[in-house]
Each structure stands twice: as structure tokens, then as C-alpha cells.
Structure 1
Amino acid sequence: MRHVIALDVGGTAMKAALTGLDGTPLYEERRGTGRERGPEAVVESVLRFAEDLSVLGRERLGTAAEAVGLAVPGIVDAGRGVAVHAVNLGWREVPLRELLGRRLGGVPVALGHDVRAGGLAEGRLGAGRGTGRFLYVSLGTGIAGAIGIDGAVEAGSHGRAGEIGHVVVRPGGPACGCGGRGCLETLASADAVGRAWSAASGDPDADAADCAGAVESGDPVALRVWQEAVDALADGLVAAVTVLDPRVVILGGGLAEAGDTLLAPLRAAVAERLTFQRLPALVPAALGDAAGCLGAGLLARDLLAALAVRT
């Protein structure tokens, strides 16, 4: 059966699938990245996982995979097929497309950014389906976004479009890993809310989910911490709405799992900040943590379609 390999690499885990050319899932598996053994070990884990999936596809489906879609975190230059920088994996200038293509005997490889791949899946298959223009925002360890335009995701001239987490919303605020201060992700990511609630509650093990629970219970300190994050997120989204004018803003990632505890005050905060702009629908993501892998599969199938046109 004709199929592609889809592989989504996270900081500690990888999600992979074999999918038919129509998108039908044929096999799914998860593995660790081996990050504790260093960046070279992570690269080898990715290559080995893809190789094992290639073998499995031949054995179970009777044919070789026709393409690979690989989604990775950090800064990605998809044109060159290079993972430019990923802090949580220790990568710098890793030529993943070349390495993976060589390991699999010349199979074409599409390399993409994990959040943009997730946004691609949400746009075609999930909460953004049929909307035309959307902004997908992942609220996890950090904050990143994907700009959706008519079924595609805009990568930008240098592969860095959609990095809403590094919009400065509090000048001079907390230091960010990017080198700036007051970036949105230092104030409104799941990690940032967890840190703020841990400090405010005195519980070193508290996280963003605990803060959301305390908000739902009416804890006034949790409400203050939560509202500060909501206000920062609203400021960042208003900047994005002003520039992009999306029809829908899709919120995914760990913080968005709070549902209306986040969405209700966020909708109100965004609405009160708008002047001439149109308020987009603010909706939760529909695909959960499968979005990145589904998006990687779409990248692989899009690559096949593009190669077919060229020939």
C-alpha cells in the first residue's frame, strides 16, 4: 500500500505514524528522544526511528515509504533542510533532510517546524478547517505560532514567521532565552504560569494546571496570577490580530487545556483592547498532541504532490 512516514520530534518524546496517501493512519508509535545522552544521540534516535518505520512499512504494507515528513522544534530552515537551532535538543545547523534521505536510501524528505506543522494540521483537518485565514498559537513550554493562509502555513523569508512568543509585551520584563526581555512566552506560556503560581503559592511542585484548578476554585492569588498571564496573552494576540487579521485564532498546547478557564477571560481581554480591528473567533485546538505528527504527514504528502507536478 502506498504510504508516507510522519515523524514529530519533541523535547523528550517522538510521535510517528505511517499514513496512506489519503491520510489514513496505518500505524502509530512513540519513542523517547534520548536527549539525556546529548544532541548527537537525539539525531541518531530520529534517524533510527525513521529507518525502523521504513522497514516496518515494507514488511506490513508491501511497499517502501514514498516520502518522509519530519517536524522538529526550534528554528528550522526548511528550504535548506536544516534544523538551525533547538535549545532543548542542543542542535545547531543539523542537516536533517540530507541525513535522513541518505539513511533511507534517497527517499524525499520534507522538513518543517513542529508548531507550523501542527498549525497546518489544525488548518486542514482541525479547528481551522475551511476558515481560510487563521492563527494557530501553541501555549506550552514556550509560545509559538503558525500563520495559516488558504490551506497552507506561511514560513516567512527565513523560516521564522509566526514567532508570536517573542513579541515584547512588557518592555524590560523577564529575561527570555532569545536574548530579549518581556517576551510574551516569559509571561503567558504554560511554563511561565507554572513558575508564577509556584512562587505565589509557595509550592515548588505547582504547575500551570494547578493554577487553573485554583482559579476554578476561586483562589484570589491564583486569579491574580492567571489574569496577569491572560492580560499579557491578550496584548500579544491584539498585536497579531492587527497585523494578520485572521478569521480564527486557534489555541493549543498545555495551557489551552484549561478550556474556558482560559478562553472566557481571554476573549473578553482581547475584545476590550480592539479598536478598529475585527474580533476573530478564539477557539481551542481540535487535534491535541497528534497535530504535529498529522502535520508532518501532510508535509510529506505535499512534497509528493509537488514532485509529481515537476515531473
Structure 2
Amino acid sequence: MSVTARDNATAAYVVALDVGGTGMKGALVGADHSLSHQARRPTARDDGPRAVVDGVLAFAAELWEAGIERHGTEPAAVGLAVPGIVDEAEGTAVYSANLGWRDVPLRELLAKRLDAPATPVALGHDVRTGGLAEGRIGAGAGVDRFLFVALGTGIAGAIGIDGRVEPGAHGGAGEIGHITVRPDGPACGCGRRGCLELFASAAAVGRAWADACGDPGATAADAAAAVVSGDARAAAVWHEAVDALAEGLVTALTLLDPRVLIVGGGLAEAGETLFAPLREAVRAKVTFQQLPTIVPAALGDAAGCLGAGLLAWDLLSAEVSS
């Protein structure tokens, strides 16, 4: 795959790949945050963790080749965002309850697959990278302290401080989807019971609405539409999800005291059907805590790719400055 590359500091683009619980999004990202050659692929998690890793590597190789064809030169770097616990320094995907993998040396595997050992590879948590993008160029731009929460296949958060996102000492900062909100609730893939994402993720709402309406193919978007139409069953499902979400968020607010709370992910696409009752539920549950401004994410599902691109450009900047 190797071709003669320009100096990394002056190359025109990076490869960005955002791996989610059900799908992957990829793009070429310019230094001006422009996205080109955007593509999507299924994550194929039902085929097991090895198949997921193979799919990630194949998708990255596809984007790499597309970049060379478009620009005539290799990418300056690669940014890869994945769910779960991530060791960013070592380039290892430590653990993901949704994807089932453990201790995957993604940086090493990617370098081998691309035949590009000298190309910098930045690895980050999918939601933290989305939060990085929202914090710098999205809904949190200019805000000194924010919490970004993504409601997708699972739930996770990103803690934003002065234009950067806190990874934590062991790569696990922001995993609020595994805050216990219902102690007597069902078992979670993480090993605990009653975790927030079992009740308030887009996947959880979809499952609850499918059970309530009898349609196994029903989704969270269908539940939101039924709430708007006045369906009492949907209203009950929605209320349980919003109440659980508010419970988890108040715990996060108590610990982090953000100025702005940014909510994104699939469930946030319901707009005020979600945000109006959520703001009220959080307001009802806080006591001494300062109520943050609660706003929808601004970048949509492009946030992950944009954030992965930012990780790659940041890595290049750090190499140039050092």
C-alpha cells in the first residue's frame, strides 16, 4: 500500500474512523475539519469480536486507499475511535461490553494492515472523541466545562475541560452508562446490575417499545413518534427511560459540576420530545447541585469522525512541537 508520502505536518488530510456498537463511520478529514469520502459499514458484532476487528482493519484500509486515489499521497495520520475502555497511550482497545473484545492492540494491527509503520495512529474512545468535536467546534465551543453524553447502542460520556477531553487515569473516564440507576434491575454485560444504559440508551428504548407494542422490529425512533401521537404505552416507556436518564445524569452532575450538558446520539434525534421532559426530570431531582444548561449536540452523527480526525491532527501537532 505504501507510496511516497509528503511530510506529515503538511499533508492535506487524515483518515478518521468511528466504530460504534452497530455501525462504523469513516471519512477523510482535512485540517479545516472538512469531511470527504464519507462511508459507512456495519460493525457485525453478532459475528464475534474477531470479525469486528477484521472489519475495522478492512474499513481503515479502504479509506486509506480512497485517500491515496483522491489526494495522490498517503494520509498524514489515522484517527480511530472505538467504544469501551481504551488505553490511548498504548494504542490498545482494552475492553468493550458491546463488542466483546479485550486487549486488542489496534494501533499495531492497523500499522501492519496498512503497511505503514511510520504513520501516526491515534486511538481514542468513541464518545470522548465525539465530545472532543462537540467541545471544540460544536455545541460546547468556547465552554470551559461541559459534559457530553451520547445515547446510542449504549451510553457513555465525555468530560470536557478547556478544549480537551479527560481520558481518566486508566482510560475509563465518562462511562456513565454503567452507573447503577436501578439496583434491582437486570444484569448488564459489564457485570453489574441495573446500569443506566439498560434503560435509557436508544437500543434499550427500542427494545422496551418493541415489547410494549408487539413489533419486534420497533425502534427508539418509533417510540418517539408514538409518544408524539399520544400512545399511552409509548408514553410509559418514554417516561421510564427519561426518569432513569435523569437519575444517572444527576449523579454525573454531582461529581463533575459542568456548565453545559450536551446530549447526542440516536435518542437525542427525538428533539424536544426528549429534551423537554429530560430538563424537567433533572430539575426535579437536583437539590444543592447547580443546574447546567442542557442542549442537543450540534454535529450529529459526524461528531465521531470529526473527533477522530481531531485526535489525528492533535497527534501530528504534538509530534511537530516535540
Q: Which interval holds the TM-score relative to the shorter structure?
A: over 0.9
- Letter aligned with residue 60 of structure 1: R
State how 1:50-61 maps to structure 2 within 5 Å. 50-61=60-71
Distance 2:184 2:275 in 1: 27
CA contact (8 A) 2:181 2:194 kept: yes
After TM superposition, give the deviation of residue 253 of structure 1 in Å: 1.2
SS in 2 for 1:182: coil
Residue 264 of structure 1 corresponds to 276
- Letter aligned with residue 251 of structure 2: A
Matching of residue 255 in structure 1 with residue 257 in structure 2:
no
Distance 2:173 2:321 in 1: 26
Residue 166 of structure 1 corresponds to 178
Using a 3 Å threshold, how does the CA distance of structure 1 residues 266 and 88 change in structure 2: closer, same or farther? Answer: closer
Answer with 9-18 or 144-153: which moved more: 9-18
Residue 148 of structure 2 corresponds to 136
Answer with 89-98 or 8-17: which moved more: 8-17
Matching of residue 83 in structure 1 with residue 93 in structure 2:
yes
**Percent of aligned pairs with the same residue?**
67
CA contact (8 A) 2:37 2:66 kept: no
Counterpart of 2:50 (choices 37, 40, 44) is: 40
Using a 3 Å threshold, how does the CA distance of structure 1 residues 202 and 279 change in structure 2: closer, same or farther? Answer: same
The one-character-per-residue Cα deviations of 1:122-146 (angstroms, maximum 9, x if unpaired) are 1111111111211111111211111
- Letter aligned with residue 198 of structure 1: A
Matching of residue 114 in structure 1 with residue 130 in structure 2:
no
Residue 31 of structure 1 corresponds to 41
Using a 3 Å threshold, how does the CA distance of structure 1 residues 60 and 196 change in structure 2: closer, same or farther? Answer: closer
State how 1:64-79 maps to structure 2 within 5 Å. 64-79=74-89
Answer with 53-62 or 218-227: which moved more: 53-62
SS in 2 for 1:128: coil
After TM superposition, give the deviation of residue 252 of structure 1 in Å: 1.0
How many residues matched?
310
CA contact (8 A) 2:227 2:235 kept: yes
SS in 1 for 2:233: helix
Answer with 48-57 or 262-271: which moved more: 48-57
Using a 3 Å threshold, how does the CA distance of structure 1 residues 101 and 222 change in structure 2: closer, same or farther? Answer: same
Counterpart of 1:125 (choices 137, 142, 146) is: 137
The one-character-per-residue Cα deviations of 1:252-308 (angstroms, maximum 9, x if unpaired) are 111111111111011011112222221111111111111111110000001011111
Using a 3 Å threshold, how does the CA distance of structure 1 residues 219 and 287 change in structure 2: closer, same or farther? Answer: same
Residue 286 of structure 1 corresponds to 298
Matching of residue 224 in structure 1 with residue 236 in structure 2:
yes
Matching of residue 193 in structure 1 with residue 205 in structure 2:
yes
Distance 2:137 2:257 in 1: 21
Distance 1:109 1:52 in 2: 16
TM-score, normalised by the number of residues in structure 1 = 0.93
Using a 3 Å threshold, how does the CA distance of structure 1 residues 13 and 208 change in structure 2: closer, same or farther? Answer: closer
Using a 3 Å threshold, how does the CA distance of structure 1 residues 66 and 170 change in structure 2: closer, same or farther? Answer: same
Distance 2:241 2:195 in 1: 12
- Letter aligned with residue 64 of structure 2: S
- Letter aligned with residue 62 of structure 1: G
The one-character-per-residue Cα deviations of 1:16-50 (angstroms, maximum 9, x if unpaired) are 12222232334322334454554333323322332
SS in 1 for 2:75: coil
- Letter aligned with residue 166 of structure 1: H
Give the aligned CA root-mean-square deviation in angstroms.
1.8
Distance 2:76 2:276 in 1: 44
Using a 3 Å threshold, how does the CA distance of structure 1 residues 50 and 196 change in structure 2: closer, same or farther? Answer: closer
Using a 3 Å threshold, how does the CA distance of structure 1 residues 180 and 271 change in structure 2: closer, same or farther? Answer: same
Residue 220 of structure 2 corresponds to 208
CA contact (8 A) 2:97 2:190 kept: no
TM-score, normalised by the number of residues in structure 2 = 0.90
Using a 3 Å threshold, how does the CA distance of structure 1 residues 179 and 42 change in structure 2: closer, same or farther? Answer: closer
SS in 2 for 1:204: coil
The one-character-per-residue Cα deviations of 1:184-223 (angstroms, maximum 9, x if unpaired) are 1111112222222223333333322222122112222322
After TM superposition, give the deviation of residue 247 of structure 1 in Å: 1.1
After TM superposition, give the deviation of residue 12 of structure 1 in Å: 4.0
Distance 1:224 1:171 in 2: 20
